[in-house]
Structure 1
Amino acid sequence: MNTLVEELEYEHLQSILTTKREKTHEARRQKDEAKRKKEQPAKSQVTKEDKEKKEKIEYRPLPAIAVGDLVKVGLLILEGDKERVQTYEGTVISKHRAGLNSTITVRKTFQGVGIERVFCLYSPRMVFVEFIRHSKARRAKLYYLRNRVGKQSRLEERFDLVTNTILLDLLASESDPSNSRT
């Protein structure tokens, strides 16, 4: 009789242990699945959001911005009830291309202190992007300019792009009948 009671207790303990194991394995599986779902957003949802954003944003052609260019960016600033355009002039040190979320990082030195600012290219607050000078850059990101001071931070000017943009502007003005001089 002793052995029968011991066997029943043993079986009871085994069943309790197996159910605990199964519960912990199931909980781990559920946590892993939740992590995977968080890490990988559905691509169809992302494209739907982008399509909605594209419909809301007005189309405006932007110039071909390259890393190393000296640019002047105009932003719409609210001061109380008034709106004004604030310009920010500096060197483009990086570009992030992500469709409507594309950004550029512009760096300038003001009173010996380096200032960087990130601009969303398709932001409704951005009024204009104006080129001042094209420069040679052999890297995609110019973060090394953060460690340079004074004349060391200068970039060599690129003349082939400047002449091409001037020629393209001239050709566009000649082909446009509204700008004719006659």
Structure 2
Amino acid sequence: MATHKTYLVISAVGADHPGLVNDLSRSILEHGCNIEDSRMTVLGGEFAAILLVEGKWNTLAKVENALPELQRSLDLTIVCKRTGARAQGEGKLPYAVDVIAMDHPGIVNNLAGFFAERRINIEDMATTTYAAAHTGTPMFAVHMTVGIPSDTHIATLREEFMDYCDGLNLDAVLEPQKA
């Protein structure tokens, strides 16, 4: 009999300090669960994490019950939610999108609008700002993974995307996701 996996999504935000990931992951492990997927970063002076924790229903309950104390002891704001396994993206082709431009408001919203209008799901996204070498010009970079429906004509989509980005003065690449 196949075992049905159960999951808990945990979101945690708080002042960054050494040992946070160790303490958070240890608590999950000690309650009999496993971190199956995660994103963790420091934004400004704040640590932010989103974790997909896998375990049996009763071990996930133990993690849920431990979160208020963990929140207090680590000085984090923690929110959790039960979830199921992710539905497989039938007919979706994973593509990587990379964009670099001089930093200005609206880049993420413009890109999200382009894909939303075409019913293309943004599955993962990371952005950053940095100073350009030599000039110090504020720059913005975004990397995202999108799920393109398999019936989409890729060459047409790529041409539309490149024209759209050119019109916004964004340097962009749209290519198949590498494994």
Scaled by the length of structure 2, the TM-score of the pair is 0.21
> Which structure dedicates a bigger proportion of its chain to helix?
1
Higher relative contact order (CA 8 A, sep 6+): 2
User: As a proportion of its length, which structure holds more strand?
Assistant: 2
